[in-house]
A and B are shown apart, each in its own frame.
Chain A
Amino acid sequence: MTKIDSKIPEGPIAEKWTRYKEHQKLVNPANKRKIDIIVVGTGLAGGAAAASLGEMGFNVKVFCIQDSPRRAHSIAAQGGINAAKNYPNDGDTIYRLFYDTVKGGDYRGRESNTYRLAEVSNNIIDQCVAQGVPFAREYSGYLANRSFGGALVSRTFYARGQTGQQLLLGAYGALSKEIKRGSVKLYTRREMLDLVVMKDGRARGIVVRNLFTGELERYSAHAVLLATGGYGNVYFLSTNAMTSNGSAAWRAYKRGAYFANPCYVQIHPTCIPVHGEYQSKLTLMSESLRNDGRIWVPKKKEDVEKIRKKEIRPRDIPEEDRDYYLERRYPAFGNLAPRDVSSRAAKERCDAGYGVGPTGLAVFLDLKDAIARLGKDVIKARYGNLIDMYERIVDDNAYETPMMIYPATHYCMGGLWVNYELQSNIPGLFVGGEANFSDHGANRLGASAIMQGLADGYFVLPYTMQNYLADQIGVGPIPTDSSEFDNTVKDVQARIDKLMAVQGKEPVDYFHKKLGHIMWEHVGMARNKAGLEEGIKLIQEVRKEFWSNVRVPGTPKGINIELEKALRVADFLELGELMARDALHREESAGGHFREEYQTPDGEAMRNDKDFMYVAAWEYPGDDKDPILNKEKLEYEAIEVKTRNYKTA
């Protein structure tokens, strides 16, 4: 497609990033002070980018939705962060990390971006150690590694089960240092409600709602970076935080940015199962549990019944009556099969009627053998905090009885389309972290999300944004009273007024739950044409109902939580439809997108490389028109495209 220019530098893959840096434009220190940058989001990507750009001398304005930058949802990443350090000397290289990530993503990511990710992965570990991140260490005092799903080497660095927290606090420290220095200005409890695009097509600002006062505020800059995370909360129940939302990305889409591969959503295999109707979120149990936990369901249906009725305990079922289905189906990777494969396998067993737990939507993760082999103390040291957390939520002791787990929406591989520079098709709008689409293809491997967030934030965006800003030094300060700003604020105000005016009967969550249910059933782990078409219809119906029957109490002034939620859900109701449309158009199975029509006889995903080896970048043509599909063809030069196979190594 001619409209899409991914700006991949020339040269062999291992040299592209170096060449880019060697030839990119720079801004001299005196001029950096004249340049403003807006960063929305203070997670790993946003926090790291804001800190690094501030260090370089730019004026950075950073926005977060919570009361402190330290609370961004990156904090919840548990298991670890990948890097090709090869400290354990097990044969890891940058190429191998790149290869695993592309393969794990089912050959639907942009090769050059993924290679760069692997390339800077080692710098991330160096950076974080220098910041005082207390990674796990061996008795020798050197860094410890563990293995993770989808890899044959141990390349995951970790800080207990709180790796994301520690990395985020590292970035938060760096950000705090710059705030103190005055190069970064922090705006908390602000939610971005729109992007300001100038007549010349450049992104020049944002409109935010101050969540304390309810005021709409305008901020301008020479470039805008969105690092606002994923849109997993479209499913209502997910492992995302309550305020995680897709609105910033969605608003950018409606201002002209392409939305890429929205149907690629990762369902995480090891979450605590749903317990009831009022459940507000799903809690992830780190995938690292799969290193020592064996996943199974009973072989016999009568055992399933007895367990559900609590007539027998799970541990009473003898070995020969247990179906360790991952080990059975994927002998090479076993319990460490990639996330999408493991999730679908769990769903397959539960759909076949072998699910355990009160709802029948759960499988066992059993630490029994690991405890027998390594002792309870070792297991406690490795997973103690997870096991404690499980007990707090479920009231079960995982040392005594297997845990129950079930897949849940976790991560969005899709996101705003960006080129090699992580710049969207709107000049001046950059997108980092989970909010962009680029590095993970159709599926993300474990311990790679925080790697990408920090890679984008510390080592990619500070370079590429500078390249863009080099010709902006003569622009001067950008006023916030231009007609573009006025109009954008007017649009936002109109949206808020419209919501307040509905005065219907049902609270926002009623619609969110309804939408979530449709998404899970029709645009979930396994999709098909009829289901997706039905889903689109249902989403449209809920959207109509929402706009005629939602109840937002109070006024737009001051704190109004229902209004905040309503604004987000209104966007989810549109985004959900685009996801379904994307899933419908992609007539193949790839990674997190599994179409039931396209599977091998033994139930594995079947790609269609001939027709679908492209990025689907959706363009917004206006509310009354269907979105326009732009295609970025994916070319693999450094890697041979294969069918993913986790049965043999």
Chain B
Amino acid sequence: MDLKLKIWRQASPTDKGQFVDYDVLDISPDTSFLEMIDILNDKLVEKGDDPVAFDHDCREGICGMCSMFINGHPHGPEAATTTCQLHMRKFKDGETIVIEPWRAKPFPVIKDLIVDRSAFDLIIQEAGYISVSTGGTPDANAVPIKRENAELAMDAAACIGCGACVAACKNASAMLFVSAKVSQFALLPQGKVEAKKRVKEMVAKMDELGFGNCTNTYACEAECPKEISITNIARMNRQFIGAKLG
């Protein structure tokens, strides 16, 4: 299949940047989206041009590194799929594909399609963990945990930190990301000790970094490649109210 690409090119964080058109020809529908970009880059290198810079690593949908905004959707139009697992069979022959970086103030563009997502690390560093040191922990089976809660915690913990929620949200809000971590620990007895401190500090950090506010559009849930539920946001709000009141 043949495709027309409109790709955001930006040489450096301070460069203005613009869209550049590329044609890629004769792509197999079984090619993954990133392999299609690889093919384009091979061509660019052959010509002596600068290849398109993009983030990617595991290419199996778990590291959360890939981050393209494809045809109006983070990770492209297919539900529950990261960019690296998106395949060209989901596109039509001759289609024009617009590829942009994540857009949010806390995610500045570094080059082309690469953005700096260290804001997410900063939020986790604030309180996104249980403060246990190595060693001296009780037997793993000492505290039984309701299976439903363990499963819900796992649902929340499945977040890969890719930032698609922020990219999708019209407000560039990080609530889904933050709430997934808050929820995971709120659901487990181990996490309860620090729960109040955690939710307050993580929310404060999220605000400080310049993420937008949640206006419950639920676009994040629709676009999340790991289908993290917005019930996590509600749970975080609940936690937050509880923390503020007591």
Question: Which of A's residues lie within 8 Å of B, judged by CB?
Answer: 48, 51-52, 55, 66-71, 73, 75-76, 85, 87, 123, 125-143, 159-160, 162, 165-166, 169, 172-174, 176-177, 179-180, 186, 188, 212, 239, 241-243, 275-276, 278-281, 283-284, 388-389, 392-393, 395, 458-459, 462, 505, 507, 509, 551, 553-554, 558-559, 561-562
CB of A223 to closest CB in B, whole Å: 18
Q: CB within 8 A of B35: which of A129, A278, A388, A559?
A: A278
Per the bound structure, the CA–CA distance linking A408 and B114 in Å amounts to: 30
CB of A177 to closest CB in B, whole Å: 5
Per the bound structure, the CA–CA distance linking A199 and B89 in Å amounts to: 58
Residues of B with C-beta under 8 A to A162: 62, 158
Contact (Cβ within 8 A) A126 B140: yes
Contact (Cβ within 8 A) A392 B81: yes
Per the bound structure, the CA–CA distance linking A388 and B158 in Å amounts to: 15
Which B residue sits closest to A278, measured CB to CB? B35
Q: CB within 8 A of B128: which of A48, A173, A395?
A: A173
Q: Which of B106-132 contact A (CB under 8 A)?
A: 110-111, 114, 116-118, 120-121, 124-126, 128-132
Contact (Cβ within 8 A) A179 B125: yes
Which of B42, B110, B124, B158 neighbours the largest number of chain A CB atoms within 10 Å of its CB?
Answer: B124
Contact (Cβ within 8 A) B134 A389: no
Whether B146 is near chain A, meaning CB under 8 Å from some CB there, is yes
Contact (Cβ within 8 A) A136 B31: no
Whether B190 is near chain A, meaning CB under 8 Å from some CB there, is yes
Among B46-54, B168-176, B230-238, the stretch that binds chain A is: B46-54
Which A residue sits closest to B28, measured CB to CB? A276
Residues of A with C-beta under 8 A to B121: 68-70, 176, 186, 188
Whether B215 is near chain A, meaning CB under 8 Å from some CB there, is no
Contact (Cβ within 8 A) A276 B60: no
Residues of B with C-beta under 8 A to A279: 35
Whether B243 is near chain A, meaning CB under 8 Å from some CB there, is no
Residues of B with C-beta under 8 A to A275: 28, 30
Whether B39 is near chain A, meaning CB under 8 Å from some CB there, is yes
Per the bound structure, the CA–CA distance linking A123 and B132 in Å amounts to: 14
CB of A391 to closest CB in B, whole Å: 10
**Given known contacts A73-B58, A162-B158, A276-B31, A176 and B125 CB-to-CB distance under 8 angstroms:** yes
Interface bits B146-161 vs A (CB < 8 Å: 1, else 0): 1100110110011011
Contact (Cβ within 8 A) A70 B64: yes
Which B residue sits closest to A395, measured CB to CB? B89
Whether B9 is near chain A, meaning CB under 8 Å from some CB there, is no
Q: CB within 8 A of A141: which of B131, B146, B191?
A: B146
Contact (Cβ within 8 A) B110 A389: no
Per the bound structure, the CA–CA distance linking A138 and B151 in Å amounts to: 10
Given contacts A127-B132, A242-B56, 13 further A-B contacts (CB under 8 A): A67-B55, A67-B117, A75-B58, A132-B129, A132-B185, A134-B157, A141-B150, A143-B140, A160-B158, A165-B62, A176-B128, A241-B59, A562-B51
18 CB < 8 A contacts A-B: A52-B134, A55-B133, A126-B140, A127-B135, A129-B137, A130-B190, A131-B132, A132-B130, A172-B124, A173-B128, A176-B125, A241-B59, A276-B28, A278-B31, A278-B39, A280-B34, A507-B45, A509-B42
Contact (Cβ within 8 A) B42 A507: yes
Residues of B with C-beta under 8 A to A136: 150, 154
Contact (Cβ within 8 A) B58 A76: yes
Residues of A with C-beta under 8 A to B58: 71, 73, 75-76, 241-242
Contact (Cβ within 8 A) B80 A388: yes
Contact (Cβ within 8 A) B184 A134: yes
Per the bound structure, the CA–CA distance linking A69 and B39 in Å amounts to: 29
Per the bound structure, the CA–CA distance linking A251 and B159 in Å amounts to: 35
Residues of A with C-beta under 8 A to B60: 76, 239, 281, 283-284, 389
Residues of B with C-beta under 8 A to A55: 133-134
Per the bound structure, the CA–CA distance linking A505 and B48 in Å amounts to: 9
Contact (Cβ within 8 A) B114 A559: yes
**Given known contacts A76-B63, A281-B59, A68 and B34 CB-to-CB distance under 8 angstroms:** no
Per the bound structure, the CA–CA distance linking A138 and B145 in Å amounts to: 9
Residues of B with C-beta under 8 A to A133: 157
Residues of B with C-beta under 8 A to A173: 124, 128-130
Whether B139 is near chain A, meaning CB under 8 Å from some CB there, is yes
CB of B75 to closest CB in A, whole Å: 12
Contact (Cβ within 8 A) B154 A160: yes
Contact (Cβ within 8 A) A139 B63: no
Which of B12, B31, B126, B150 neighbours the largest number of chain A CB atoms within 10 Å of its CB?
Answer: B150
Q: CB within 8 A of B161: which of A68, A283, A462?
A: A68
Per the bound structure, the CA–CA distance linking A236 and B132 in Å amounts to: 39
Residues of A with C-beta under 8 A to B146: 141
Residues of B with C-beta under 8 A to A67: 55, 65, 116-118
Contact (Cβ within 8 A) A278 B125: no
Contact (Cβ within 8 A) B125 A551: no
Per the bound structure, the CA–CA distance linking A275 and B30 in Å amounts to: 7
Which of A85, A392, A505 neighbours the largest number of chain B CB atoms within 10 Å of its CB?
Answer: A392
Per the bound structure, the CA–CA distance linking A123 and B135 in Å amounts to: 7
Contact (Cβ within 8 A) B137 A71: no
Per the bound structure, the CA–CA distance linking A284 and B61 in Å amounts to: 11
Residues of A with C-beta under 8 A to B129: 131-132, 173-174, 176-177
Contact (Cβ within 8 A) A127 B120: no
**Given known contacts A55-B133, A276-B30, A388-B80, A126 and B56 CB-to-CB distance under 8 angstroms:** no
Per the bound structure, the CA–CA distance linking A466 and B130 in Å amounts to: 25
Task: Enumerate the 6 nearest inter-chain pairs by beta-carbon distance, A residue then B residue, closest first.
Answer: A141-B144, A173-B129, A130-B137, A134-B154, A134-B153, A129-B140
Whether B96 is near chain A, meaning CB under 8 Å from some CB there, is no
**Given known contacts A129-B190, A139-B147, A141-B147, A68 and B59 CB-to-CB distance under 8 angstroms:** no
Q: CB within 8 A of A73: which of B12, B63, B80, B190?
A: B63
Residues of A with C-beta under 8 A to B32: 280, 393
Residues of A with C-beta under 8 A to B35: 278-280
Contact (Cβ within 8 A) A177 B131: yes
Which B residue sits closest to A77, measured CB to CB? B62
CB of A446 to closest CB in B, whole Å: 17
Residues of B with C-beta under 8 A to A137: 144-145, 147, 150
Which A residue sits closest to B137, measured CB to CB? A130
Residues of B with C-beta under 8 A to A85: 140-141
Contact (Cβ within 8 A) B62 A76: yes
Residues of A with C-beta under 8 A to B45: 507, 551, 553, 562
Residues of A with C-beta under 8 A to B132: 127, 130-131, 174
CB of A236 to closest CB in B, whole Å: 12
Per the bound structure, the CA–CA distance linking A129 and B118 in Å amounts to: 27
Contact (Cβ within 8 A) B134 A75: no
Contact (Cβ within 8 A) B161 A134: no
CB of A26 to closest CB in B, whole Å: 14
Which A residue sits closest to B159, measured CB to CB? A169
Residues of B with C-beta under 8 A to A505: 46
Contact (Cβ within 8 A) B134 A458: yes
Per the bound structure, the CA–CA distance linking A559 and B51 in Å amounts to: 10
Contact (Cβ within 8 A) A561 B51: yes
Contact (Cβ within 8 A) B31 A138: no
Q: CB within 8 A of A71: which of B65, B134, B150?
A: B65
Whether B95 is near chain A, meaning CB under 8 Å from some CB there, is no
Which of B80, B116, B154 neighbours the largest number of chain A CB atoms within 10 Å of its CB?
Answer: B154
CB of B8 to closest CB in A, whole Å: 15
Residues of B with C-beta under 8 A to A393: 32, 85, 87
Which A residue sits closest to B158, measured CB to CB? A162
Per the bound structure, the CA–CA distance linking A424 and B61 in Å amounts to: 34
